[in-house]
Amino acid sequence: MKNQTKEIIIATIGIILLISSLTIFILKIVMPRDNLSKKANTELSVAETLKTFKISSLSNNEYTKQNDTSALLKYKPDKETFGISISTKNTILFSTTKVSKEKDTTIVQTQTTDFMDKRGLIVSKPKIYNPSKELKYKTFENTKTVCQLLSTDKTVSSGQSHFHQLSCIDKSDISNQYASIKKLLTKDKTPQVGSSFVQALVITNSKNNIKYSILNLNSDTKRQRLLFASVDEKWEYLGDLIGGGEKYANEKNSITPELQTKINNSKYKGFLAENLIEKPATKK
């Protein structure tokens, strides 16, 4: 009888150990897959994030969806002293012509936040230069991507009421933009811009071996449009496109005679002049 009891106890312990071993084995298989799934969600590409974006507030017939637009995404990492506006074509625009449509920015932001959170993009609050009180920004990010929802409940233009635009960009593109801006600011004869400016935007154009970049700097009290140009990648600072004040102001710029002379330099083969100097209106 004692031997039988002992055998039952040994058998029971064996079963418990077997179940424990199977449990550990299953957990080792399942848990990594779950972690990989979460990791994959946090590393969705820009294209994948936009392709899968869908929320109920923007899925009805009141909004028209456009994929062939472009946008300026505003962002400022904590380590930087100024923010940037960076152009991206990875964007979706939802617009409506119903002027009487109720305000829905709050609900669209809430639903977008829920969508992003499920894909590993959490809400961030970078300091964004936004002089317009009518535009509302909501920013999301993970280790590789930044997405931003731009919304307004006000009528934008004739025939178009409020809109919502979701844009995304790789953080590597943001890093490259900062590197380009800092490189321009170190060029010889570039004016000291100080630390007062809070937002920067670079616009670049090129033709063959000739390029120019316009570095737009904004602060609460001052605006600059610094012009840089190159031939065969030999960059130099030319001047401020709005440095001429009211005396030389036109619709786009305020170019002094000194800067205009530099723009007309023959080495640029007329490329800068045709893009930057406004032609006088012809008399009828």
Low-confidence ranges of the chain (pLDDT < 70): 1-43, 99-101, 155-161, 194-195, 280-284
Among 109, 143, 170, residue at a domain's last position: 170
Among 138, 170, 202, residue at a domain's last position: 170
pLDDT at 131: 80
Q: Does residue 26 belong to any structural domain of this protein?
A: no
Q: Does residue 129 belong to any structural domain of this protein?
A: yes
Among 170, 202, 231, residue at a domain's last position: 170
Full residue range of the structural domain in which residue 202 is found: 187-276
SS (H, E, C) the chain: CHHHHHHHHHHHHHHHHHHHHHHHHHHHHHHHHHHHHHHHHHCCCHHHHHHHCCCHHHCCCCCEEECCCCEEEEECCCCCCCEEEEEECCEEEEECCCCCCCCCHHHHHHHHHHHHHHCCCEEECCCCCCCCCCCEEEEEECCCEEEEEEEECCCCECCECCEEEEEEEEHHHHHHHHHHHHHHHCCCCCCCCCCCCCEEEEEEEEECCEEEEEEEEECCCCEEEEEEEEECCEEEEEEECCCCHHHHECCCCECCHHHHHHHCCHHHCCHHHHHHCCCCCCCC
pLDDT at 44: 77
Q: Does residue 20 belong to any structural domain of this protein?
A: no
Residues 54 and 166 in one domain: yes
The 10s digit of each residue's pLDDT in 180-225 is 999 999 998 888 776 678 999 999 999 999 999 999 999 888 899 9
Residues 95 and 148 in one domain: yes
pLDDT at 6: 46
Residues 116 and 71 in one domain: yes
Residues 148 and 238 in one domain: no
Q: How many domains does the chain have?
A: 2
Residues 156 and 194 in one domain: no
Residues 213 and 254 in one domain: yes
What's the mean pLDDT when you consider all of the chain? 83
pLDDT at 27: 40
